[in-house]
Structure 1
Amino acid sequence: MSITAQLRDSVRLPGGDALVNGYALESRSGWARRTLIRNGHELEVYDLDELFTGETAPTAVFPVPWPGWDRGVDSVSPDAAFAVFSGQRAVRAVSSAGETLWEYRHSCWGPAFGHSHTGDEQEVCRGLEHGSCRVSDDGRLVWAHVVVGVHDRDWDDWHECWVVLDARDGRELAQLRLDSAAAGSHHVSHPDGIHVGLCIGMGQDGILLYWARWDGEKLTSWDLNDGMDRILTDVHPDHAGFLTVEHYGTDVRLHMLDGTVLATGAPEAADGKDPAWWDYGCGFVDGGTVIATTVDADEDSERAVRHWLLDGRTLEIRGTPTYPTGANGSYVRPLGDGTWLTYDSTSETLYRWSEPAS
């Protein structure tokens, strides 16, 4: 079934592809949405709703502490007073004036065993491996995925950790040792403002998924890695579970917070013949609707990415959205408020869509 999407807003936004094909959009409890776009040696922060009303100037701009390092997933405080950067050898909080507020040093993400450093903080070591960080919804904590240990002293002492830091001074409050060897990671804040998810991609070795909360004294965590191998993509806007996609795209699932599976959705080939698989572009348009993308086995660029609307409770396919602007090969970013984003790289235009009004 074809469902004609209704164009709600559009704005020209160079670099906006990171919103639909990356982690440049931060949604927080209350559904405040900020856009984080790297522009040269600066991180520009935009209010998404203001962008669509014509306010195209960033609400805040932060100097990037390591201009040569373009990996890691960074985060900005709810009031945009500071940004926290996930570096190759440190997590650093920076004010909009460029002042370093604090730094949490950790081991190097570079994969070479026993490699040394020159002492220049701008040195970027070989490798694409990286961690991520996330400022809590109340602005009091920073969650960070880091490396601990010394490569050239004791290989057995080198491991990855999930740490909770005090956002005021970077002091470590808690640490959870992880059984991972990351290629990269990302965080997801639960809309309840308490729980935080961490998804770690390990390339061909699979995916690890954790949830945790900090009550001011104790870190409580649980992993969902017993045969799951699933990518964390989104959390229900009304707290009614979270979505994952299987590592190789065989299905999408809705889970309770403890990992219990509530529903499973299988991909459908557009022509009924060629196999397809879900991509990681998947999330809640609103409480009753999920939008997801498939990648067809046919690698024809005009057919590669397709959008599907699913029932938010059963994950059964309801139909495929079609767009008045023509064919859309973009990935998608649902916003949880009844709308979703696509991006046209040719015109550098960000679009916001909804289903047609009933």
Structure 2
Amino acid sequence: MSISVHLRDSVVLPGGGALVNGYGFESRAGGPRRALLPHGHELEVHDLDGLFAGERAPAATFPLPWPGWDRGVHSVSPDASYAVFSGQRAVRAVGAGGETLWEYRHDCWGPELGHPHTGDEQEVCRGLEHGSCRVSDDGRTVWAHVVIGEQEHWVVLDAGNGRELARLPLDSAAAGSHHLSHPDGVHMGLSIGMGQDGILLHWARWDGTQLVDWDLNESMDRILMDVHPGHRGFLTVEHYGSDLRLHTLDGDVLATGSPDPADADEDEDRPCWDYGCGFVDADTVIASTVDCDDEEDPALSRHWLLDARTLEVRGRVTYPGTPATGYLLPLGDGTWLTHDGETQTLNRWTEETP
């Protein structure tokens, strides 16, 4: 079945691809939806709705504390008064004027054998590994994935001064990670990618005294993608794209959705789910497929709408004019984003109503 959609908004946004194929988007329960886009030696923070309303100037701008470091997943406080950066050897809170508010030092994500650090904070060691951080929705804590000694940890820091409040040792050897804040404003998710060694997934909450963690890795090798806007579970995709699953917060499976090989064209290989999926709204999931044997080229992706309760495929998205392909970002309000790399245009779509 084909499902028609129409273009709701469009804006030229160079670098906007980071919104849909990276971690340049940050939303908070009851708060603004923001685009966090690196621009030169700065991190520009845009209000997403303001962008589509014609506001081109960023709502806030923060100088990058380590201009040579282009990895890590960063976060901005709820009032956009400061940003927290996940660096190679530190988590640092930076004010709009570039001043360091606090710093939490940790060991290096990319140490080289026989290469002692020179003491130059701008030195970047070779290696692609990185961590991530996230300011909580209430602005009181910062959650960060870091290296301490020879082990990775998940730490909770006081957002006001960077003091460590809790630490959880992790059994991971990360290539990278990202955080996902639950819309209940209490729980935080952490997804750790370890390359061919798989995925680790954790949920936790800070009760003011201790870190309460749910280790979901005994039966999972899945990437954390999104949380239902009505708090009815979270969505994951299997490491190699074999299926999507909807889980309770404890990890129990509520529904499973697999790509239907019958939906592929005759000259196409078996489809598998790509890494772009999430809730369009409380009733609908959007996901993309690629050819499993074609190195998952996002330029060849196709987009599908699924029932949010059962994860059954409702139909393939039909875009007007030139079809949108590649990664996508659902916004939970009935719309989703795609980015055209040739025209540097950020497009916002919604399903056609009868």
**Structure 2 length normalisation: TM-score?**
0.96
1:266 aligns with 2:262: no
Match of 1:119 in 2: 119
Alignment match, 1:89:
89
**What amino acid does structure 1 have at the position aligned with 2:319?**
Y
**Contact between 1:296 and 1:303, CA under 8 Å: does it hold in 2?**
no
Q: Give the structure 2 partner of residue 348 of structure 1.
A: 344
Distance 1:237 1:200, change over 3 A: same
1:299 & 1:350 partners in 2: Cα distance?
Answer: 26
Aligned letter for 1:198?
Answer: L
| 1:112 positional shift | 3.3
For each residue in 1:185-237, what CA deviation from the matched residue of structure 2 results, as whole angstroms up to 9, or x when unmatched? Answer: 00000000000000000000000000000011111011110131000000000
Matches within 5 A, 1:330-345: 330-345=326-341
1:209 & 1:141 partners in 2: Cα distance?
A: 20
Q: CA deviation at 1:325?
A: 3.4
In the alignment of these two chains, the number of paired residues is 350
- Deviation at residue 60 of structure 1 after TM alignment: 0.1
Matched, 1:220 2:212: yes
Identity of aligned residues (%): 72
Instruction: Specify whether residues 204 and 298 from structure 1 end up closer, same or farther in structure 2 by C-alpha distance, changes over 3 A only.
Output: closer
Name the CA shift for 1:340/1:31 in 2 (closer, same or farther; >3 Å): farther
Match of 2:307 in 1: 311
Map 1:37-116 → 2, pairs under 5 A? 37-116=37-116
Whole-Å separation in 2 of the counterparts to 1:328 and 1:334:
14
Question: Is 2:91–2:105's contact at 8 Å kept on the other side of the alignment?
Answer: yes
Distance in 1 (CA, whole Å) between partners of 2:165 and 2:309 is 37
| Counterpart residue number, 1:321 | 317
In 2, the alpha carbon distance for the partners of 1:34 and 1:328 equals 22
Gaps of 5+ in 1: 150-157
**What is the Cα deviation at residue 303 of structure 1?**
6.6
Q: Which of 269, 284, 300 is the equivalent residue of 1:289? A: 284
Unaligned runs of 5+ residues in structure 2 are none
Aligned equivalents of 1:201 and 1:303: distance in 2?
A: 23
Residue 114 of structure 1 and its aligned partner are, at CA, apart by 5.0
TM superposition shift of 1:111 = 4.6
Q: Structure 1 length normalisation: TM-score? A: 0.95
Between 282-291 and 263-272, the greater mean CA deviation after superposition: 263-272
* Aligned structure 1 segments of 4 or more residues deviating by more than 4 angstroms: 300-303
Q: What is the aligned partner in structure 2 of residue 237 from structure 1?
A: 229
Distance (whole Å) between structure 1 residues aligned to residue 220 and residue 111 of structure 2: 26
- Relative distance call for 1:59 and 1:303 in structure 2 (3 A) is closer
